[in-house]
């Protein structure tokens, strides 16, 4: 088992994937929307839902980040406001557990 963690800046990745404070070789991209973060990793998962588990938390009041989808090399996080469900940009912290 391996544990990864990282910090996503709210303003990073808007025009192109960027490295972030996290595992080497991983990038974040904003998917042309301020509230949708795509994290690209280099794990090449064969069974993402069984091999990879992500917990994410927002660093802004009312932020409610949700891991929306996972694939072999990416996971998407959507950040909403917990008070009204609207889109919200926030710095995020995550922890991911990988079971090869």
List pLDDT tens digits, range 38-80. Answer: 999 999 999 999 999 999 999 999 999 999 999 999 999 999 9
Distance CA 4, CA 49 (A): 16
- Answer whether residue 4 shows pLDDT above 90: yes
Terminal-residue alpha carbon distance, the chain: 7
Contact (Cβ atoms closer than 8 angstroms) between residue 79 and residue 65: yes
Number of separate domains in the chain: 1
What residue numbers bound the domain in which 40 lies? 2-98
């Amino acid at each position: 088992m391996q544990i990864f963690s990282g910090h996503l800046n709210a303003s990073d990745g808007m025009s192109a994937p960027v490295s972030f404070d996290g595992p080497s070789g991983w990038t974040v991209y904003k998917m042309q929307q301020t509230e949708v973060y795509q994290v690209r990793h280099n794990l090449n998962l064969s069974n993402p839902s069984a091999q990879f588990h992500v917990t994410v938390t927002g660093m802004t009041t009312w932020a409610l980040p949700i891991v929306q989808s996972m694939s072999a090399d990416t996971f998407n996080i959507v950040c909403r406001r917990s008070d009204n469900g609207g889109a919200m940009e926030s710095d995020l912290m995550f922890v991911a557990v990988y079971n090869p």
